[in-house]
Amino acid sequence: MRQEDWSKLARIMSKRSLWMVHFCTGCGAMEMPPVLTSRYDMERFGMISMATPRQADVLLVTGYLAVKTLKRLVQVYEQMRDPKYVVGFGSCTINGGMYWDSYNTIKDLSKYMPVDIYIAGCMPRPEAIIDAFLKLMDMIDKGEATGWKKYHKYYKQYKRNQKMAFSYRLDEVKDIEEGDGK
């Protein structure tokens, strides 16, 4: 068999066996129990929640991210093995949601790590979540879910954005921006 056939087979297999790690930051995590248990039962698609990022394929960011939390999120994301996918859950990860004017939450998750698929809503219903995962599976099958490749390619930029978010003094931000110029 050729290399392409192998990777095609691997994609077909891995879409049916997505192990996820929830990064439960906000209220969105409340919607996960119905998805996991008998009402909507996500395990019929081979999806189960794992305890650690080492074992997981999907990072589920459920809700708003304070700057302090982002540090942990990046740590978790970098500990996952490729190929890995990120699902942004709820409006908070898209544009800050109801925390749009907060001083210490980040507004756009995709600035800090590549997000493969967003689920809009405050909060999204379990049906929406399952729909998103089916979409993600479709994308994996077609080879479109390439966020992890993007992270390797634009690693410097992502790191810069993360550093900007973590720095809390103006001169630090300035240093980073000046560093870009040089």
Partner 1 sequence: MVMNIITSILVMSGMVALGFAIGMLFNGIARKVVARIHNRVGPPVYQGYIDVFKLFSKKTNISHGWIFDLAALFSVGGIALTFLFLPVAGVSMLSGEGDLFLILYLIAIPALGFALGAGASGNPNAAVGMMRALMMMLAYELPIAMVIVAMMVYYNTTSLAGIVAMQSNLKWAIGIPPFLIGALVADMALQGMLMEKPFDIPLAPHEIATGPLVEFGGKHLGSIILYKMMGTVVETTLFVDLFLGGGVVLNVNQFGWFAYLVNFIVWFVLILVVFLIAVIINAVFPRFRIEQALKFYWKYDALVALFILFWIFSGVMV
Partner 2 sequence: MLVEIFITMLILALVAAALNKYPKISGIVTFFASLIPFLVVISWSQDIGLSFPQFLKFFTLEKSLNYNIGIATFMLKITPLGWFFLLLLASAFPMAILFSITFIKKNAGGFYAAMITSMIGSMGILLAQDILSFYMFWEIMSWSILALVMRSHDKKAIMSYLSFGVLSAMLILLGIMLLYSETGTFVFSEMGFMANNTTLIALSLLVSGFAVKGVLVPMHVWAPYVYSRSEEPFVAFLSGGLSKLGYFAMILFMYSVVGISVLNSWGTFRDVSIFGYTLAFIGALTAFIGTVLAIMQDDLRKLLAYSSIGQLGYIAIGIGIGTPLAMTGALFQALNHTFFKSALFLAAGAVYYRTGKWKISELGGLGYKMPFTFLAVLFAIFALAGIPITSGFAAKWLLYEAAIQKKFLFITPIMLIAGVGAFLYSYKILYGVFLGEPRHNVKEAPLSQLAAMWLLVLPLIIFLIFPGWFVDLTSPILKWYGLMPISHTPYTITTSLAAYNTLAVILALIGGLILAFALYFSKPQKVVPHTDNYLAGEPPELYEHISMHAASKYYEPFDEVFYPFFKRGAEMCWMAILKFVKILGEGARAIYTGIVNDYSIYILIFFLLLVGWWLIW
Q: Kindly write out the interface string for residues 57-96 of this chain, putting x where it contacts partner 1 by CB under 8 A and - elsewhere.
A: x---------------------xxxxx-------------
Which of 41, 36, 141, 33 lies closest to 85 in space, CA to CA? 141
CB of 71 to partner 2, least distance (A): 6
What are the structure tokens assigned to 31, written together?
Answer: 């919607």
Which CB atom, from 78 or from 108, has the smaller least distance to partner 1?
Answer: 78
> Rounded to whole angstroms, how far apart are CA atoms 169 and 130?
41
Is residue 10 involved in binding partner 1 (CB under 8 A)?
yes
Is residue 34 involved in binding partner 1 (CB under 8 A)?
no
Is residue 14 involved in binding partner 1 (CB under 8 A)?
yes
Q: What do you get for the CA distance between the two ends of the chain, in Å?
A: 48
153-172 burial string, b = 16+ CB within 10 Å, else e? eeeeebebbbeebeeeeeee
User: For binding to partner 1 (CB under 8 A), which residues are involved?
Assistant: 9-10, 13-14, 16-17, 37-38, 41, 43-46, 50-52, 54-55, 57, 79-83
